[in-house]
Each structure stands twice: as C-alpha cells, then as structure tokens.
Structure 1
Amino acid sequence: MGEQFARANKYCRIALLLALCAHGAGSNSGTAQDNPVSLQPIVGPGPDEQRQLLDFVSRHGGGIIVSEGALQTVVGRETTDKGPVQDQILGAYVLGTQSTTARSSLDFVPNSEHARWFIHLRGKTLNCTTSYTPQAIIRSQGEYLFQLSKQVDLTESNVMTRSPAAFMETRQRNFAAHTPADTIPLVGPLVGMAAFMEAENRRPLAERIAAYRLTERIAPKFNSEIDTSLVQLNQTLSQLQEQWPKGVLQSPTLHSLSTQSAATLALDFGSGNVTAGPIDWSLANPQAGISVLLSEQRLNSWLAQLPIAGQQIRDTDIDLLVNRIQGKSSGGPALPGTLPQQPISLATLILDEQRPLSVRFLENYTLLELRMRIRPTVGEELPTQVVRLRFEVRPTDSAFEILPSVAEVVPLQPELSQVAHELARNVLKQQFEQRLKTIPVPRQIPVPEAWVSAGVSHVEVTQFTSKGGWLSVVWQPRAVSVQ
C-alpha cells in the first residue's frame, strides 16, 4: 500500500507540474510585485463531464482526474508592475508613469484525443503621460486591456505548444494641450485648440503604436517563461522513460483527455484493456482537487507482469527489508575479535508459479492475497498456503494510518495433509503478525516555493479509501494562512 501511494504521489506531482508554466506578466522599467491570489471556490464538473471522465478512467482501469479549479490555486498569480515611461511616438518625446496589473490563469477545453488547455495572461495597463514636440505639449491618459493566450497539448509522449495569440483593447484620452502661444490673447486658445485637434486626429495611430509596444514587451516574456517550463516538463517525462526499470512492467504510455473543467490522465503499461467495474463519483471527487483512482483489475494486471512467480525469499531477507523501511539496523553488534552477527535463516518462502500476488479493494479496506509454500532449513517442504492480509485505513488529524492484519491463512489444496497445513498456517500467521506494523501516510505534502508564492501552503490528502473494486486518493491544495 505504501508503494502504491508513493507511485501515485509521483504521477500526481507530474500532473501538478503541468500547471507551473502559467506564470508570466509584462514589466516596465520600474518595480514589480507578485501578489498571491486568494483561492477561488472550486466548481466540479457537471453530470455529462462526470460521465465522460469516469468512462475514461473505467476504460483504462484507473487514472488521475485534475480539476481546473484546483490548478487555478497554483497558476492564479497576480503581478503589479509600476514605473516611469520614456518613449518616442510619432515624433513626440513621451514622459510619464505607467502601471500594469496582470493575472495568469488556466482553462481546460474539451478534447477527446488528448488533454488540451490554454494559459492566459489577462491584464490592464494605465498610464498618465505628457508628450513634448516643438509645437505643443499634450497631456493624456491611457488604458490598455490585454489578453495573451497560449495553447498547450499533452500528447502520449510530450507536451506541445503553439505561439501565443494576443488581443488588445485601447482607450487613449487627450485632455489638455499647451503651445508657446498660450499667453497671447485670442490667438492662444485657437492655436491650443488646433494642436488638440491634431493630437486627436493622430490618436488612433498613436494607440496602435502604443499597443504594439506593449505587446512587444509582454508577449516575449510570457512566451519564454511558458516554453521554459514546458521544456523542463518534457525533460522530466523523458527521464522517467529512460530511467524506467527494465523488466518491471513496460515503459508507460500516457493517455489523456480534457473536458470543460477537468482533465484526466492514464498510464498504459502495455498490459492491454481490462474490464473494470463501475466507479462511484463520490470516489473521484475532482472538485476537491486531484484524484488518483486505481481499479483492482488494472493493478492485478500489472502485478501479473512482475517477474516474481516462483521467486524464493528467505525469512531473513524479509527482516532486512522491514528494518530498512523502519530505519533500523539489522543484526547485533560484533564482539571484540569476532565477526558481526548475521541473522540465521530458518525457512525460505517460495511464491506460487501461477498467481503469487493479487489485490482486492473492498469497503474501506484492501485485501492482499499471497500464495506461497514454505521450505524449512531443516525438514520437509510445506504445501502452498493462501495468506490474505487486510489493510484498513483509519483517518486521524495528521495522517491516514494503514492498519495491517492477517485476515486468514488457508490451504490452496485442502485435500493434502491436514497436519502439514496446520503447521504451515501457524508458521505463516506467526511470521506475518510479527512483522506487520502500522503504516502512517501523512496528510500534508510540501509544495515547491513557487506554489507558496502563488498562495498554496501545502497539498493535503483529504481522502484515502477503497470501495467496489476501486482505490481512491484525493489531494487538495490549501491556501496560505493570512496573519
């Protein structure tokens, strides 16, 4: 169970990493300040989206459902940038001040072939400037509403993107004109009016030039920051493919789709299609953040690919593994002039050649079934037994505690010697009960510093349960507390 949780956590982090490319905003030559945006209420998918997401997960025997609302808590970043303006437009020397406020966001779009989303940078620039020419001085105010949008596609092997699209709405207002003739009676107002009208005639062109300059300043940074993050993500995916252990399942292929408010991902290890049972929407619960779902059919198909059939495991090797997990040293201290004490093996466990390991996800507990026979160091080999271990999850304030116990030990072939079966049952029950310890799964998972800056303090495991042949783990981002 701990290993399953670790693997789910790894791919959940990959899913969350997809959101990190949504940071970026324009800047002036002044001071920039990044402000965390308060977490917005998370709205879950509607009935049609629920059906589409669950059909995808059921078809693949498992998957990760990522809600758009949960990712907004990571990418929803607001940047305020203030500073002076120095420019030259249409022969006029322009001086003034300018402030830009921009917010990044992410929007999933429906796509059945693979997950697709847009990263948006929406904002507003306000300026107050004075334009100087030899003939006149024009004071003006401007407001520029802009949106930059970049499409991102998650394919089977990498993340692809396109050049951003830019939209701009400009509002420039001239409100005063001064000329060298201002002090001349009658003539001064007429010359000033003429200068003002000339500025008004040239205003549309000046607006277009200013909008172009603003786009030139913001778009490259927005595009570069996203592309840099996507390159890092593709490198991570490539490294996972290259470092995938040989002989332990097939290197996975990523499948995905997106709806209006969520995306779902599934890993295919080449084990073919499985017939998974129906899944209850309460297990998925993606409006709470990110859900990792796994069917017992899919997990058992993966377990069947592991090269463990017929493997022989000494009892001392089990002790070494348990001690390593618990951070304990093995063996006792060596006496002066003697070799270190080595554990003595009393028996070897031989896993079944047909079905050594399988799992069932039942109502709030998992049943792990091991089939093995015992070969004592001294004596005859004992027949194959079926060991069923029960893992019940108990939630606490700080963790989910996995409580293991021996549910039963029964013979695979009851018609064989009852004495041998009884001996094997007692030995296995005793050996497993000695080694089974409570496994704590912490609720709080630390997040990168960039997420903290975006207003997310940590990710919390809000659900860890099983039901009807499905295992469900749900993560939810938590807001930084405001003092």
Structure 2
Amino acid sequence: MQMLVSRQESDVGPVQDFISGAVVTGQQTTQSHASIDCLPSLEVAQFDFVIQGVVSSITTSSTPQADILQQGNTQFLARKRVYLNGETILTQKSMVQVMPNQLVTGAHARPTPLPMLNSLADRIAYKAALARLPESNLIAGQKVINRLQPEIDAKIDANLADVNSLIHQQVWIRLKSWNVMPDYKATFSSQERLFWDYRLGTQPLAWATPTQETQPTLPSSSVFVPDVTVRLHESLFESVASRRQLGGKTVSLNELREATDRLLLLLAEEVPAELPGLPLAITFTFDTHQPLRAEARENQLLLYLRGTFQAGTLPKTETQEIRLQITGELTEQTFTIKTSDITVRELQADGTLATPGITQTAIAAQIRTNLQPIEIKRELRLHEQLKQTLAIRLSEVQSDKGWMNLQFTANQAAPGPVENRIPSPKPTLPEAPLITPQFPPN
C-alpha cells in the first residue's frame, strides 16, 4: 500500500490576493509527500492518508503607504481517514494542521518630499510589519488550510469513488450474477497490515483470531514478511460448486479442454500446442452429492470430482470419483501448475471406492492427455504513473492443513526526480499545530 500511494509532488504558482487592505503578489511553491498510516481496529479496517509538506512563498504586500517584502515557509500535515467495510471504501473529511513562519525581508515606504526622511520611513514601515507578524502567520496558516483541505478531499474522494465503481462493476456484480456473493464480509487492521475476511456461509474457520493478527510484529532481517498474503480454504471449492449448482450438470472433455485453453490465454506465459479432438464424444455428468471437493495438504491440492462418464451412445458408467493431484513449481519467471497424478475409482454401493480397473485406468489416461501444465507469470504490473512502476510478484505458494497460502512481494522502480523551482528546506513536522481548521458554528 505504501508503494502504491507514496509519491512526491511539487507545484509552483502565482500569488494574487487582497489581505487587510494590501494587494499581495508573488510566487509560491507547494511541496508534498503522500503516504498511509494503518490504524489498529478490530471493528473495521482503517487507515489515514497522510500528506505532509511545506508551502514556500516570496510575496510583496502593497499599500498606499509602503511595499512590504516577505518570505514564508508554512509546514503542514494533513490526515484523511479511510474505512474499508469489505464492500465499499468510505472516507471522512480531512484535517489539516499547519505551522506558519513568515519573515519580513524588507520594507519600502512611499517617497516623501524630503529625501532625508525616506530611510526613516522605511524603518518605520519595517517595524510596523514586524509587529504584525503574528497576524500575518495566522492569516498565512488559515489560507493554507482553506486551500489544501478542499483540494485533498476532492482529489482523494474522486479517486476512491472511481475505485468503488470499478470494484462494484468488476467484482460484486459478477459475483452476484454467478451466485457466489460472500455471505460474510469483515475487515480489520493492525499498525502494519490490512485484513479482509470473505466467506461463503458464516461458519467460522480454524484460523488466527483478529486479536492475534492485529498485534504488531517486529520482523528481523532473517524473517521474510510478504507484502500481500492470500489465504484460500479448501471448502471454497465445494461451496462454489454448491452455489453454481454443479451437481447434475453434464460437460464434455472437449469443453473442459476449451475452458482450460481460455484460462491459458488470460493467464499463461505460453499456450501449449492444440491437441487433436477426441474421436468419440465423452461426457461427464457431475453427481448430485459432493460433485466437487478439495483437500489442501503437504504443498499439494487434491481435487475430487464425482460423477458418471458416457462415451457416445454407450451406456453410462457407474459413479466414478476422479482424484487430481495438483502441484505447483516456481521458476524465475513463471509459476507452473501441474497435475502430477490422476486416479479414477468406482464408487461402490457401500460408499467405498473400488480398486481401479481397465475402464478407470483408460479414463485416467485420457484425462491426463488433455490436462496440460499451466504456466502463469509470477509478476503482475499494477500501474505505470509518474515515472514509477509498481509490480506484485508471487514469492511463495504453500498448501497444508486445509489452507492454500499465496504470498506476494511488491516491487517499485525508483521514482524520477521532482523538479523544484524554488529551493526549500525539507519539512519538519510540527509536534503540535499552531493553527487548526476553523469550522462555522452549527
């Protein structure tokens, strides 16, 4: 998240204002850095967008009596709270704190009929400007708050509204149309991480409690901590099969192969050569009881498909159970998914599985021929913007005790240099604000 959000910006613009009877002109530069700050919460995941920086200005305030030259450096710290309820992203109004520091660098009074008095008039104007510095700081700080607060709110709210719309269209509408909308949605956060918990059904799963997960961790150099972890429970397969009403549906082996090819076109590094079609149409009808289930154990995934086969116009077989032993292998560039073993066994009347016979062995051989390894790129590029690239890379795949764990690391190229037309010191954040937002009474 830090890599996705973190960025530095520099904006230069003119100053044109009218303050306390003076016409103010000049130039100002706003330098800012954005990041996020995760907040511990067991109720709903939340974090703050943190924007900190400095507004540097060189101005001239002109009145009928004198021109006052000033240089200002106003440090600011803005925080905008974001809530993640598992379905939409919600925000609060930003809060901006500032620490203004205005300096009077010169004063030029209007010329008098007596030239010898001009220098004295300049000194009087200079001292008068110094006396008004507290008021100048107050005005400068409030000006920064009035400008930055709506800008920050508008920019972040617009971006998150686009994200909400994209998630709604690409995720929730599709899941609802597929009848696999989660029944349970929960989020929580620690000082370091954000957590999402989605379930088909509300049955609790044997997993770490939120209290354990939200405790801060202190990773050492010898302990690998992934940037993103995705945990999938083996019951997901059976739940999806039930929601999609897989029981009783009939598919052909050719259709299964075409579906695999479509998946390869979307995800695979390389699509295998096209295989010849089967000489005889073979169909598989899923059983109404446990048509699909899975077991995740010892770094492998076991898929069980239960149903009957039919070749052409020949009679259907008895109920068979297909066991696919699926393993994964990480190479430098790809993640390869292989079906390392296939067994087909007939379900007997007493519920036990018979030893594979000639028919079952032939079916297993035919399925093995049609299941090709799938090679998926390990690295997915998320976005390219502002001379920086963020990519997420699959670093480890684990499978055991009913859970499949996918671990990812994020990588980002160094951002390009930020152009600063007016040099300004690196901002030091105020420990306590001198000026806070002013809200009208209710």
TM-score between the two structures when normalised by the length of structure 2: 0.79
User: Match for 1:260: what amino acid?
Assistant: Q
CA distance in 1 between counterparts of 2:264 and 2:28 reads 59
* Worse-superposed segment, 257-266 or 202-211: 202-211
Deviation of 1:437 (Å)? 0.8
Given the alignment of the two structures, is residue 313 of structure 1 paired with residue 251 of structure 2, yes or no?
yes
Deviations 1:149-193 (A, max 9, x none): 211112254222122111111111113323246996875554333
The answer to whether the Cα contact below 8 Å between 2:30 and 2:54 also exists between their aligned partners in 1 is yes
> After the TM superposition, which of the residue ranges 112-121 and 375-384 deviates more from structure 2?
375-384
**What's 1:88 paired with?**
18
SS at match of 2:100: strand
**Partner in structure 1 of residue 423 of structure 2:** none
> Residue 372 of structure 1: CA displacement?
2.4
Corresponding residue of 1:244: 175
| Other-structure match for 1:403 | 338
* Aligned pairs (5 A) from 1:259-408: 259-269=190-200, 271-276=201-206, 287-325=225-263, 345-408=280-343
For the residues of structure 1 that align with 2:23 and 2:186, how far apart are their CA atoms? 55
Specify whether residues 316 and 407 from structure 1 end up closer, same or farther in structure 2 by C-alpha distance, changes over 3 A only: closer
Deviation of the 1:217 alpha carbon: 2.5
Q: Which string of whole-angstrom CA distances, capped at 9 and with x for unpartnered residues, describes residues 40-62 of structure 1?
A: xxxxxxxxxxxxxxxxxxxxxxx
Q: 1:429 to 1:467 in 2, by over 3 A?
A: same
User: 1:378 & 1:319 partners in 2: Cα distance?
Assistant: 21
Deviation at 1:102, TM superposition (A): 0.6
Superimposed CA distance per residue, residues 20-66 of structure 1 (whole angstroms, 9 cap, x where no aligned partner): xxxxxxxxxxxxxxxxxxxxxxxxxxxxxxxxxxxxxxxxxxxxxxx
Could you tell me which residue of structure 1 aligns to residue 102 of structure 2?
172
Residue aligning to 2:146: 216
CA contact (8 A) 2:325 2:339 kept: yes
Q: Which runs of 5+ in 1 are unaligned?
A: 1-70, 333-341
Match for residue 423 of structure 1? 358
Matched with 1:116 is: 46
Task: Give the CA deviation at 1:370.
Answer: 1.6
How far apart, CA to CA, are the structure 1 residues paired with 2:351 and 2:149?
76
Give the Å deviation of 1:272: 2.2
Greater RCO, CA 8 A, separation 6+: 1
Q: Partner of 1:151 in structure 2? A: 81
Tell me by how many angstroms 1:467 deviates. 2.6
* Separation in structure 2 between the aligned mates of residue 286 and residue 183 of structure 1, nearest angstrom: 79
CA distance in 1 between partners of 2:369 and 2:132 (Å): 87
CA deviation profile, 1:111-137 (whole Å, cap 9, x unmatched): 211111111221101122232223223
For residues 320 and 431 of structure 1, what CA distance do their matches in structure 2 show?
A: 15
Letter in 1 for 2:400: K
- 2: CA distance between counterparts of 1:417 and 1:473? 34
State the Cα RMSD in Å: 3.4
- AA partner of residue 257 (structure 1): F
1:468 matched residue in structure 2: 401
> Do the aligned partners of 1:350 and 1:372 also contact (CA within 8 Å) in 2?
yes
Report the counterpart of residue 187 of structure 2 in structure 1.
Answer: 256
Distance across 2 between alignment mates of 1:376 and 1:472? 38
Name which of 130, 137, 160 aligns with 1:230: 160
Cα distance in 2 for residues equivalent to 1:418 and 1:201: 95
Equivalent in the alignment of 1:52: none
The amino acid across from 2:65 in the alignment is Q
Aligned to 1:433: 368
Shift of the 325–90 alpha-carbon distance from structure 1 to 2, 3 Å rule, reads: closer
Q: 1:103 to 1:123 in 2, by over 3 A?
A: same
Check conservation: 2:389, 2:413, Cα contact below 8 A. Answer: yes
Q: How many pairs does the alignment contain?
A: 400
Greater CA deviation, 418-427 or 166-175?
Answer: 418-427
CA distance in 2, matches of 1:418, 1:356: 15
Q: Deviations over 1:247-288 (max 9, x none)?
A: 63345553211111111012233x221433669999xx9943
User: Which residue number in structure 2 is paired with residue 138 of structure 1?
Assistant: 68
Residue identity in the other structure for 2:52: R
Q: Secondary structure at the match of 1:382?
A: coil
* Pair 372,457 (structure 1): closer, same or farther in 2 beyond 3 Å: same
User: 1:287–1:86: structure 2 CA closer, same or farther, 3 Å change rule?
Assistant: farther
CA distance in 2, matches of 1:183, 1:397: 84
- State whether residues 381 and 389 of structure 2, in contact with CA within 8 Å, keep that contact through their aligned partners in structure 1: no
Structure 2: runs of 5 or more not aligned: 218-222, 266-270, 417-442
Bigger mean CA offset, 155-164 vs 392-401: 155-164
* Amino acid across the alignment from 2:413: V
Query: Is the contact between residue 445 and residue 458 of structure 1 (CA under 8 Å) also seen in structure 2?
Result: yes
Which structure: greater helix fraction? Answer: 1
Call closer, same or farther: CA 1:194–1:326 in 2, change over 3 Å: closer
**Contact 2:253–2:284 (8 Å) recurs in 1:** yes
**Which deviates more from structure 2 when the two are superposed, residues 148-157 or residues 398-407?**
148-157
* Other structure's SS at 2:185 match: strand
Q: Which amino acid aligns with 2:130?
A: E
1:228 is displaced (CA, Å) by 0.8
The one-letter code sitting in structure 2 at the alignment partner of 1:370 is: L
CA distance in 2 between partners of 1:137 and 1:465 (Å): 71
The letter of the residue matching 2:48 is: F
CA distance in 1, matches of 2:33, 2:208: 40
